[in-house]
Amino acid sequence: MYINAVCHYLPETIVLNEHYTNLNGLTDEWIYKRSGIKQRTKAKEGENTNSMSIEAIKTILENLPYALNDIDLIVGATYTPYDTVGTLAHAVQGYFNIQDAKAITITSACSSFLNAIEIVEGYFAMSKAKKAIVIATEHNSAYNNDEDEQSGYLWGDGAGVAFISKERHSDDDLAILDLNTTGLGNIGKGIEGVYLRPKNGGLKMPYGKDIFVHACKYMVSEVESILKRNDFTVDDIDYLIPHQANVRIIDNVAKTLGLKNGQRIMNIENTGNTGCASTAVALSQNWDRFLKDELIVVTVFGGGYSSGAMLLKK
C-alpha cells in the first residue's frame, strides 16, 4: 500500500489556556506543564466532523494523482460523529459524488486512524478495492465539558485525510511497509479509563494515571515490535509521529526508545489533543519534510484501550 497524498483542516478558532484560568482557575503554567498544550483548535458554529473533513479534502483536489471518482473505498474514523446514522464516510461520498465506492465509518478511540488504514489493507488484500480515502476527524468540543478539571482543557478539533492506493503512483508516495493494531480492552481500567456516554456529562477521563502508564508502555512496544518484524532497529527511525495525547507521554515514549528531540513530530502545543485525527494531521503538516528512503513510524494509543503502529518509508 502507498499513501499518495495527505491533507488536513484545523478550525480558525483558537482557545488559549487563559480560558480555563477564567473558567475554573487552571493556570497556563499548570496546563502547559501537565500536557504541553498552549492552545487548542475549536470548531466554530456550524462546523462538525463532516464539514471539517470536506474542507480538508477540498485543499488537495488539484494535487491528487487521480480523480476522486477513481476512489472505490471510503473509511471514516471518529469517536465524535456529527451523525451516527448518516456517517462521516457517507457524508464525504455524498458531498463529492463519489459513485459506487464502499463507505464505512469506524471507531477505536484515538487509535482509529490506524484501524481505518488496516481495514483498507484488508479490502486491498481481497481485491475489493484499489484506491481509498481514510478520514480521521474529531469534534471534541461538541462533546467536551470545559469545566471538567481532569481533562476538559485537553481537547482540540480537526481533520486529517490520507489517500491510499494498492499500487505506487509517484516517487512522492509514502510506502506503508507494515501496520498493526491491538485491542487492549482487557488491561488496566479498560473501557473505564476514558469514555463518552449518553447523558453522562460529556467526554470523561477519570483514570489519567492508568492511561499514562499503559500509553507509555504500549506505544513503545508497538514501535519495537513493528521494527523487529521488518528487520529495522530504533537507530533506523528518522521520524516518530506519536498520538498527540500529552507531551509527558510523548517525552516518555521518545526517551524509552532513545530518540532525539528532532525525531519527534508534535503539534499538540497548538492544537490540543485532536483524538484520532492527531497523527493524520501531523503527517499532513510534515509531508514535505520527508526525504527519499527516510523511515517514519506512527504509534498510537486510544481509549478502550487500544494501540497500534505503522511503518512508512519515503
Is residue 85 scored above 90 in pLDDT? yes
Domain interval for residue 124: 2-165
Q: 459524488: which residue's cell? A: 97
58 with 161, same domain: the answer is: yes
Cell numbers given for 136: 480521521
Over range 79-108, report the average pLDDT: 97
Is residue 260 scored above 90 in pLDDT? no
Q: 468540543: which residue's cell? A: 141
Quote the pLDDT of residue 232.
98
With cut-offs at 50, 70 and 90, classify the pLDDT of residue 262: confident
Quote the pLDDT of residue 166.
97
189 with 259, same domain: the answer is: yes
For a pLDDT cut of 90, what percent of the chain falls above it? Answer: 96
178 with 160, same domain: the answer is: no
Average pLDDT taken over every residue of the chain: 96
Over range 1-6, report the average pLDDT: 98
Quote the pLDDT of residue 199.
87
94 with 206, same domain: the answer is: no
180 with 152, same domain: the answer is: no
Quote the pLDDT of residue 295.
98
156 with 80, same domain: the answer is: yes
- In CATH, what number is assigned to the domain containing residue 132? 3.40.47.10
Quote the pLDDT of residue 41.
98
137 with 16, same domain: the answer is: yes
Gap between the Cα atoms of 264 and 297, Å rounded: 10
46 with 194, same domain: the answer is: no
Which of 134, 165, 196 represents a domain boundary (last residue)? 165
Which residues have CB under 8 Å from 50's CB, separation 6+?
A: 82, 83, 88, 91, 92, 95
Return the active site residues. 110, 243, 273
112 with 206, same domain: the answer is: no
108 with 152, same domain: the answer is: yes
**Number of domains observed in the structure of the chain:** 2
Q: What is the pLDDT of residues 105-162, one digit of tens each?
A: 999 999 999 999 999 999 999 999 999 999 999 999 999 999 999 899 999 999 999 9
Give exposure, 29-53, as e/b (b: 16+ Cβ within 10 Å). eebeeebbbbbbbbbeeebbbbbbb
With cut-offs at 50, 70 and 90, classify the pLDDT of residue 290: very high
Over range 185-204, report the average pLDDT: 92
Gap between the Cα atoms of 36 and 130, Å rounded: 39
For a pLDDT cut of 70, what percent of the chain falls above it? Answer: 100
Which of 146, 165, 184 represents a domain boundary (last residue)? 165
Is residue 16 scored above 90 in pLDDT? yes
SS3 call for 259: coil
Which of 145, 165, 185 represents a domain boundary (last residue)? 165
150 with 190, same domain: the answer is: no
How far is the CA of 188 from the CAs of 27, 63, 106, 209, 247, in angstroms?
30, 44, 23, 10, 21
pTM attached to this predicted model: 0.96
Quote the pLDDT of residue 217.
98
With cut-offs at 50, 70 and 90, classify the pLDDT of residue 201: confident
Run of H or E including 30: helix 28-35
3-state percent helix, strand, coil for the chain, nearest multiple of 5? 35, 25, 40
